[in-house]
Structure formats: structure tokens, C-alpha cells
Amino acid sequence: ATSALDWQNQSLIAKSIDGLRGSMTILTIAHRPSMIAFADWVVAMEDGRVVEVGQYRRLKAKPGSRLSRMLSGEQSETEPADVA
């Protein structure tokens, strides 16, 4: 669970996970969209239901997608823009 981590330690974990890409399947469950920036595929859920499935890069670029809306509202003054 990374939700209680500070941004520096979260960044270290994200970099470690990203380094494993291509060598295994990784399933990441996250509340912070920045923790899935390395993902190939995203399954967005709300109230226990799947509301969106797709490739990260396509959903990020798609106006109105759950992922693009989450990403646009994610950053705050205390969070670095790029933690992965």
C-alpha cells in the first residue's frame, strides 16, 4: 500500500516496479494515478464495478476518459508532477 507513503518513497517504489517491466506480469492496485504511469493496461473501477478498460496511453489521451479526468485532477502543490 503506497497511499501512506511520502512522494519520495513512492517514487522509489514506482521506479523499482517500472524496472521489472517486460520480465513479468505486474498487477498494481492504486489510488494515486501516478503509481500506474508505467502500466500497459488500466482497469478503472468505481463502487466495485469496472467502468473503463484500455491501454494507458490511449485512455490518457482520450478526453473525458476516467483516467484522463483522474490525471488532470491528481496533482497538487505538494505532489511533484512526475514521480515515476
Mean pLDDT of 63-69: 89
Between these two residues, 83 and 62, which has the higher pLDDT value?
Answer: 62
Write down the pLDDT at residue 2: 60
Give the dihedral sign, CA 74/78/81/82. negative
Helix (H) / strand (E) element for 50: namely strand 49-55
Mean pLDDT of 38-58: 92
C-alpha cell at 7: 512522494
Whether 78 has a pLDDT exceeding 50, the answer reads no
Mean pLDDT of 3-18: 83
Beta carbons of 12 and 59 less than 8 angstroms apart: no
